Amino acid sequence: MRVVSMQSKAKVYHREECRYAKKILPKNRMQLSSEAAEKAGYHICPYCDGMDALFRMKKEQILKYARKNHMEVDLLNHVLYVRTDVGCWKMIYSMSEHRFLLYHKNYMQGVLSLDEVEEGAYHRQRDVPFSKSIEKYLFYISKHDAARKIEMIDYRLLPNRTKKEKRYFASARARSNRRSQRRLEELFTMIEQGA
């Protein structure tokens, strides 16, 4: 829900946690969905919309969760980057849709430096729905990377009970098979070159 002031000529709507929403007198305060507010001619508050604003409002909780789960979190050029020891993630906020998109880049050689996070290709993480919360994506990232670490040891150790787990298990098995095939081809190439 969004908060509007019925007496405001500026016609701005806010998130409930916005510092400006808290200044609206109770008698002038009304709650609407963002869609209803826009239909009524209101526009989003620039202070409480966008990645920078949303990160600023939840910064303490985000950084606490990140530290607890061994993540590095950085806000660069309106994009939130999350670095872990097995992957780098970026969250982009779509202001037109009021939700986040999650992108991912795998690596296996330890945490990327802050200078390296913007380089290289990311892919859209399609197995997780759009989110209206940074915290939901951080939770997803911690679970995903825990599974990735298990997969690096042996994919057969992954849980395989729910539909989602079965899908991940199958894709992990396929990745393992591709890696085995590549190793085998490399061995044959080495043998042929040595002969």
> Which tens digit of pLDDT belongs to each residue from 11-54?
998 888 888 888 999 999 999 888 888 898 988 888 887 888 88
State whether residue 188 is helix, strand or coil. Answer: helix
Identify whether the C-beta of residue 62 lies closer than 8 Å to the C-beta of residue 135. Answer: yes
**Half-sphere exposure of residue 75, counting CA atoms within 13 Å on the CB side?**
14
Nearest to 132 by CA among 10, 17, 21: 17
Both structure tokens of 130: 């759009």
Beta strand pairing status for 43-44 and 12-15? parallel
pTM for the full predicted model: 0.75
Identify whether the C-beta of residue 88 lies closer than 8 Å to the C-beta of residue 151. Answer: no
Question: What is the tens place of the pLDDT at every residue in 57-109?
Answer: 889 999 999 999 999 999 998 899 999 988 899 999 987 777 899 999 877 56
Q: Which single residue is written with the structure tokens 């539909």?
A: 163
Query: What is 95-119 written as a DSSP string?
Result: TTTTEEEEEEEE-SSSPPPGGGTTS
CA distance 151 to 168: 10
